[in-house]
Amino acid sequence: MSLKLAILASGNGSNAQAIFAAVSRGSLDAEVRLVLCNQPGAGVLDHAALAGIPAQCLDGAEYSSREAYDLALIEAIRASGADVVALAGYMRLLTPAFLEAFPGRILNIHPAVLPSFKGVRGAEQAVAYGVKISGCSVHFVSQGMDEGPLIIQAAVPVIQGESAQELQNRIHVLEHRIYPQALHWLAQDRLSLSGRSVSLVPADLPKAEQPPMTLIWPPLEQGF
Ligand code: GRF
C-alpha cells in the first residue's frame, strides 16, 4: 500500500531529496504529501519547491510551548492526509503527544551506527573516539532520543586521517540509500516488530534468501 508521507526536516534536506527521487523513479511506493520545516530559509524548502511538493515552515518562536507547536504539526500532517512521518534531519525533540498521534509510524535517520553516538554530532564523535566503522541507522522513533527499534543500518570504514566532515559526507551517501529502502519496506507492510527487534516478513524464506537489513560498503579487497 502506498505510503502517505510527511517529511519533517530542519536543514539542507538531502535525505528528503533522496526520498523524492526514490518516489519519482518508482523504487519507493509512497506519495510525499507534505514537507514541514522549523527553520525559515532551510534548503529542504527549496528541494520541496523544485519537486512540486507542498511545504510549510512553522516557526517555533510563534508558539507558546513545545506542545502547542507539535499540535500544529499534527494538524498540518492530518490535513495533508499523511499517516507516516519521516524525520530527516529534524532538529527539535518531539513531544509525547506527537508520538502518540502516529504510533509505530514515525521513522528517523541517524548518522551513526546506533546505539553508538546518539545525539547531534555522530560523525564528529566517531572520529574523536577512533572507531574503525561508522555509518547510519534508520529506526522507529520512541520516547528516548535515537533509541527506537532499528530497521536498517549501513556501515562505512572510517578512513585514517579524514575529517569528521569527510566521514559525514560518505555516511550521507548511504543515508540516501537506506532511508528510502526502510520506507519502502514499511509501504509493503513487511516490517514486523517483536520487542525491540524488527524483522522482514515473510520470515520463513530460507536464510540464504533473506534480504539483508544492512548495507556494508565498500566490500573487502578481492581475495578476502
Ligand atoms: C543527516 O545526517 C541525518 O542522518 C541527520 O540529520 C542529517 C540531515 O541531513 N538526522 P540532510 O538535511 O538530509 O542533508
Condensed to tens digits (0 to 9), the pLDDT of residues 60-80 reads 999 999 999 999 999 999 999
Q: How far apart are CA 163 and CA 205, in angstroms?
A: 42
pLDDT digits (tens, 9 = 90+) for 115-134: 999 998 988 999 999 999 99
What pLDDT shows up at residue 79? 98
Average the pLDDT over 90-115 and give the result. 97
Share of the chain above pLDDT 90, in %: 86
**Ligand 1 binding pocket includes 146 (Cβ within 6 Å):** no
Three-class secondary structure of residue 92 per DSSP = coil
What pLDDT shows up at residue 204? 73
Point out the ligand 1 atom lying closest to the alpha carbon of residue 175.
4
**Ligand 1 binding pocket includes 170 (Cβ within 6 Å):** no
**Ligand 1 binding pocket includes 27 (Cβ within 6 Å):** no
Point out the ligand 1 atom lying closest to the alpha carbon of residue 43.
12
pLDDT band at 207 (very low <50, low <70, confident <90, very high): confident
Q: How far apart are CA 81 and CA 168, in angstroms?
A: 34
Share of the chain above pLDDT 70, in %: 99
Inter-axis angle of helices 164-187 and 14-24, to 10 degrees?
40
Average pLDDT, the chain: 94
**Ligand 1 binding pocket includes 89 (Cβ within 6 Å):** yes
Burial class for 23, CB neighbours closer than 10 Å (0-12, 13-18, 19+):
buried
pLDDT digits (tens, 9 = 90+) for 142-176: 998 899 999 999 999 999 999 999 999 999 999 99
Three-class secondary structure of residue 200 per DSSP = strand
24: left (phi over 0), alpha (psi -120 to 50) or beta: alpha
Of the candidates 42, 39, 27, 28, the residue with the CA atom closest to the CA atom of residue 86: 28
C-beta of residue 80 within 8 angstroms of C-beta of residue 33: yes
pTM across the whole model: 0.94
Q: Ligand 1 centre and the CA of 211: distance in Å?
A: 25
Of the candidates 87, 45, 93, the residue with the CA atom closest to the CA atom of residue 65: 93
pLDDT at residue 219 greater than cutoff 80: no
Neighbouring residues of 167: CB distance < 8 A, sequence distance ≥ 6: 123, 126, 127, 134, 156, 158, 159
C-alpha cell at 54: 507542498
Q: Which of 47, 110, 139, 176 is catalytic?
A: 110
C-beta of residue 127 within 8 angstroms of C-beta of residue 161: no
